[in-house]
Structures are given as C-alpha cells and as structure tokens.
C-alpha cells in the first residue's frame, strides 16, 4: 500500500510517525496482555474436585474423587456403621499446581 503524504511541513511527518508508533505500541501491548491472560488461565485450570459424603446420623464421613452428576444432598449409598443414608455434604476443588506469583 502506497500512502501519498503531503510533506509540506516536517512537523506533519513527525506527527504521523508518532501516531503510527503509538498504534504499533498499542497493538504490541494488547498482544502481550492477551498472552499473559492466557498464561494465568492455564495456570489456574489444573485442579481436582473432591466429594465429601456424610452419614445422616453424622457418625461417618468419607471422601472420594468427584464424579459427574454429583451434587450436594445426593444420596450416596448407606453408612457402613449404622446403615442410614449417606448424602453428599460438600464438594471442593483443589489446585494441583501452585499459582504463579505475579
């Protein structure tokens, strides 16, 4: 692309160069910001869900790996101690990788 510039005053040329430089800088800054954001996103992704099951009589609780379809209050078999229903008490997530300090 050929841009015909009216360079009657050197100030106009300086101004154009300055504006172009700013645009290039902004694009570059935007790209590095996106790359940084993507990096943080990838750092936070590796985590493991754990499901905590508790007996309704509160005499027994167990932890196991989260399975699809798990929700708090779901009945999960019977208690090995008293035979009462076991329900999912809570579900938590653990990061398997430490978050990078910025």
Question: Would you tell me which residues interact with Zn ion (CB under 5 A)?
Answer: 55, 57, 59-60, 79, 81-82, 84
Two tokens at 36? 């940084």
| Nearer Cβ to Zn ion (30/80) | 80
Report yes or no: 55 and 69 within 8 Å, Cβ to Cβ: no
| Nearer Cβ to Zn ion (55/88) | 55
Give the Cα separation of 45 and 42 in Å (integer): 5
| Nearer Cβ to Zn ion (79/88) | 79
Three-point CA angle 94, 98, 47, nearest 5°: 30
Q: How far is the CB of 91 from Zn ion (least distance, A)?
A: 20
Neighbours of 49 (CB within 10 A): 12
Length of the chain: 102
Q: How far is the CB of 55 from Zn ion (least distance, A)?
A: 3
Q: How far is the CB of 60 from Zn ion (least distance, A)?
A: 5
Two tokens at 65? 């790996």
| Nearer Cβ to Zn ion (26/82) | 82
Q: How far is the CB of 82 from Zn ion (least distance, A)?
A: 4
């Amino acid at each position: 692309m050929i841009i015909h510039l009216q360079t009657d005053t050197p100030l106009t040329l300086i101004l154009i160069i300055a504006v172009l430089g700013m645009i290039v800088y902004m694009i570059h800054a935007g790209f590095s910001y996106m790359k940084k954001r993507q990096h943080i996103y990838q750092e936070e992704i590796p985590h493991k869900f754990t499901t905590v099951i508790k007996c309704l009589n509160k005499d027994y609780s167990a932890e196991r790996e989260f399975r699809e379809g798990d929700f708090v209050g779901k009945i999960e078999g019977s208690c090995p101690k008293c035979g009462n229903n076991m329900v999912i008490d809570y579900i938590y997530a653990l990061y398997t990788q430490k978050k990078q300090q910025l």
